[in-house]
């Protein structure tokens, strides 16, 4: 989310951001927990001595750095203005438990016998103290943020997207719940049958057909959606356009959706809202995914270098043209890059954007083999190493097709929120590869499944499945 989206009436806005206040509270909790633990441990184990001032300062610093890294990897430093305290506490309990376990395994293996006399007591003592201090600190930080929102010091710019019949109820809720901190910059109406210039002094900025322009002009931090009947296609379009603008989306659900279990809601001070989070993976998963990309691409490029050179020589000897084929593709957030592949077709300058056909006559004899075994994809490891692609992700498309499908399906650009991949859920699940409009629609379903369920575990599963697909020779020829 852009830093400019949060409005704070203060001389230094960054000091009052949610994640900054969380960090302040955590540092105090880490140091307090460690010092209290030392005091209790010495009282319980008289043979243990207190650290010197210098040692206490060094150890406290190391402890703070360690826990900040653990919490960051666990996704506990985010600018979430309103969050369920129970959700946050469960995350804290989980991260402190596993972090303490790793911490004390290291201490137990490298420390004096005094630590090894009662390891379970030492672990439980430190974990309970740390968890308690962190929870109290974060609750204090949350209450501070809530107070600042109620007093108007922190204001969250919001855009309302509503049906005509629902806009008044949502405005009533926003007026009643000052702790939400929303400042409504305008309203976008779904219904165009009854044009209005303003509702309760809030300007009507347009209709859902002009949403991208309104988002660009108002730059809201969050978008609140309340409609009469949930049109899934319409909601997908709204979510995609809002995510494209870097906004968080919250949807007011129908009571039927709540009681029938169709919607998982987040309680905001007693009011249910569906929270559509544009952050698709936890920080530790993003870190692990990028680390895996770098390691695997380096290993494949270096260890297989003789084979890649041999393939290049064969391509050069069997057909006229360059060894590599480059083509502009659209990457994450709409960035254009040149995708690299081994050339598998007869060379032709100024090719128009076209789909590959089954038994395409343009494919060379060696091209049939490297396409069937997916060896033509190997040079894309360079794109992965550069950060333009990932090992796993939606298939990158040419700019021509991205523009074309975006006109047909506005939520198509949801695919561009993640790095494109060499392999993906579609590649390992599709039984055939006919290039057609029907295939594109089916591919979108697979891509959206992957995006909405992104995890490091799913990436590992797709990579394992890809190996079996390659061994079976199910590539396109």
- pLDDT value of position 170: 85
Residue 162 pLDDT > 80, yes or no? yes
Tell which wins on pLDDT, 85 or 187: 187
How many residues comprise the chain? 477
Contact residues for 471 (Cβ-Cβ < 8 A; gap 6+): none
Residue 107 pLDDT > 60, yes or no? yes
Give per-residue burial for 94-105: e unless 16+ CB within 10 Å, then b.
ebbeebbeebbe
Residue 364 pLDDT > 80, yes or no? yes
Helix axes 283-303, 305-318, angle to 10 degrees: 60
CA diameter of the chain = 84
Residue 261 pLDDT > 70, yes or no? no
Q: Please name the residue that has the structure tokens 């030392």.
A: 38
Query: Which of 184, 189, 196 lies closest to 162 in space, CA to CA?
Result: 189
Percent of the residues in the chain that have a pLDDT greater than 70, as a whole number: 78
The DSSP secondary-structure symbol of 319 reads S
- pLDDT value of position 272: 52
Residue 396 pLDDT > 80, yes or no? yes
Tell which wins on pLDDT, 195 or 204: 204
> In three state form, how does the secondary structure of 148-168 look?
HHHCCCEEEEEEEEECCCCHH
In CATH, 154-276 is 3.40.50.720: yes
Domain boundaries, the chain: 8-149, 154-276, 283-472
The DSSP secondary-structure symbol of 347 reads -
- Min mean pLDDT across 81-95, 212-226, 292-306, 307-321 is at 81-95
Q: How far apart are CA 321 and CA 312, in angstroms?
A: 11
Average confidence (pLDDT) over 392-407: 86
Query: Is 362:345 a contact under the CB 8 Å cutoff?
Result: yes
Q: Give me the chain's average pLDDT, please.
A: 79
Give per-residue pLDDT as tens, 17-47: 788 888 999 999 999 998 888 888 777 666 6
The DSSP secondary-structure symbol of 225 reads E
Residue 290 confidence class, pLDDT cut points 50, 70, 90: very high
Residue 446 pLDDT > 90, yes or no? no
Tell which wins on pLDDT, 114 or 235: 235
Q: How far apart are CA 413 and CA 242, in angstroms?
A: 11
- pLDDT value of position 259: 39
Residue 258 pLDDT > 60, yes or no? no
Query: Is 21:144 a contact under the CB 8 Å cutoff?
Result: yes
Residue 85 pLDDT > 70, yes or no? yes
Residue 263 pLDDT > 50, yes or no? no
Average confidence (pLDDT) over 264-277: 51
- pLDDT value of position 265: 44
Average confidence (pLDDT) over 272-296: 78
Q: How far apart are CA 226 and CA 159, in angstroms?
A: 11
Q: Please name the residue that has the structure tokens 């097709």.
A: 401
- pLDDT value of position 75: 82
Residue 10 pLDDT > 50, yes or no? no
- pLDDT value of position 321: 85
- pLDDT value of position 375: 87
Query: Is 289:456 a contact under the CB 8 Å cutoff?
Result: yes
Residue 104 pLDDT > 70, yes or no? yes
Residue 441 pLDDT > 50, yes or no? yes
Average confidence (pLDDT) over 119-147: 86
- Helical (H) or strand (E) element with 56: helix 53-73
- pLDDT value of position 11: 43
Average confidence (pLDDT) over 242-249: 79
- pLDDT value of position 30: 93
- pLDDT value of position 231: 60
Residue 477 confidence class, pLDDT cut points 50, 70, 90: very low
Tell which wins on pLDDT, 77 or 231: 77
How deeply is 76 buried, as exposed, middle or buried, from its count of CB atoms within 10 A (0-12, 13-18, 19+)? buried
Residue 136 confidence class, pLDDT cut points 50, 70, 90: very high
- Min mean pLDDT across 64-73, 252-261, 312-321 is at 252-261
Distance of CA 103 to the CA centre of its chain: 28
Q: Please name the residue that has the structure tokens 């356009």.
A: 241
Residue 256 confidence class, pLDDT cut points 50, 70, 90: very low
Paired residues of 326 in beta bridges: 340
Q: How far apart are the first and last CA of the chain?
A: 42
Q: How far apart are CA 233 and CA 110, in angstroms?
A: 58
Measured at the CA of 206, the angle between CA 202 and CA 212, to 5 degrees, comes to: 115
- pLDDT value of position 269: 44
Residue 120 pLDDT > 80, yes or no? no
Sign for the CA dihedral angle at 141, 142, 146, 149 comes to: positive
Query: Which of 138, 136, 132, 36 lies closest to 93 in space, CA to CA?
Result: 132
- Helical (H) or strand (E) element with 185: strand 182-189
Paired residues of 151 in beta bridges: none
Q: How far apart are CA 3 and CA 12, in angstroms?
A: 13
- The alpha-helical segments, DSSP class H, found in 325-418 are 365-372, 380-385, 399-408
Residue 291 pLDDT > 90, yes or no? yes
Tell me the two tokens of residue 473: 């020779």
- pLDDT value of position 115: 52
Residue 271 pLDDT > 80, yes or no? no
- pLDDT value of position 435: 54
Average confidence (pLDDT) over 118-133: 83
Sign for the CA dihedral angle at 373, 379, 385, 389 comes to: negative
């Amino acid at each position: 989310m852009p830093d400019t989206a949060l409005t704070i009436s203060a001389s230094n806005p960054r000091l009052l951001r949610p994640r900054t206040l969380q960090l302040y509270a955590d540092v105090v909790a880490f140091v307090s927990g460690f010092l209290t633990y030392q005091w209790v441990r010495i009282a319980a184990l008289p043979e243990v001595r207190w650290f010197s001032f210098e040692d206490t300062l060094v150890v406290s610093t190391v402890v703070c750095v360690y826990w900040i890294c653990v919490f960051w990897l666990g996704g506990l430093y985010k600018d979430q203005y309103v969050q369920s305290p129970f959700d946050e506490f469960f995350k804290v309990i989980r991260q402190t438990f596993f972090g303490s376990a790793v911490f004390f395994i290291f201490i137990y293996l490298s420390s004096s016998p005094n630590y090894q006399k009662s390891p379970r007591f030492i672990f439980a003592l430190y974990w309970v103290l740390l968890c308690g201090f962190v929870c109290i600190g974060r609750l204090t930080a949350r209450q501070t943020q809530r107070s600042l929102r109620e007093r108007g010091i922190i204001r969250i710019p919001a855009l309302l997207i509503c049906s005509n019949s629902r806009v008044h109820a949502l405005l009533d809720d926003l007026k009643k719940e000052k702790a939400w901190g929303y400042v409504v910059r305008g309203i976008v109406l779904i219904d165009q049958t009854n044009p209005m210039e303003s509702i309760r002094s809030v300007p009507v900025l347009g209709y859902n057909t002009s949403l991208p322009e309104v988002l660009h002009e108002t730059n809201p931090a969050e978008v609140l959606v309340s409609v009469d009947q949930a049109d899934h296609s319409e909601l997908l379009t709204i979510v995609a356009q809002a995510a494209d603008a870097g906004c968080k989306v919250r949807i007011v659900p129908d009571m039927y959706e709540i009681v029938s279990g169709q919607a998982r809601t987040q309680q905001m001070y007693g009011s249910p809202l569906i929270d559509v989070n544009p952050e698709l993976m936890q920080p530790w998963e993003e870190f692990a995914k990028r680390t895996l990309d770098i390691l695997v691409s380096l290993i494949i490029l270096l260890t297989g270098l003789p084979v890649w050179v041999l393939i290049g020589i064969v391509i050069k000897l069997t057909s006229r043209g360059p060894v590599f084929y480059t083509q502009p593709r659209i990457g994450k957030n709409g960035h254009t890059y040149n995708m690299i592949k081994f050339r598998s077709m007869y060379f032709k300058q100024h090719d128009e954007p076209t789909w590959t056909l089954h038994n395409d006559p343009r494919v060379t004899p060696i091209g049939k083999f490297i396409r069937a075994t997916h060896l033509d994809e190997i040079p894309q490891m360079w794109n992965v190493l550069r950060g333009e692609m990932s090992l796993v992700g939606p298939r990158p498309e040419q700019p021509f097709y991205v523009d074309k499908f975006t006109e047909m399906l506005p939520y198509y650009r949801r695919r561009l929120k993640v790095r494109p991949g060499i392999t993906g859920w579609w590649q390992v699940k599709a039984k055939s590869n006919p290039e057609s409009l029907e295939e594109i629609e089916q591919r979108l379903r697979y891509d959206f499944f992957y995006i909405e369920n992104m995890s490091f575990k799913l990436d590992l599963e797709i990579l394992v499945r890809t190996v079996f697909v390659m061994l079976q020779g199910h590539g396109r020829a």
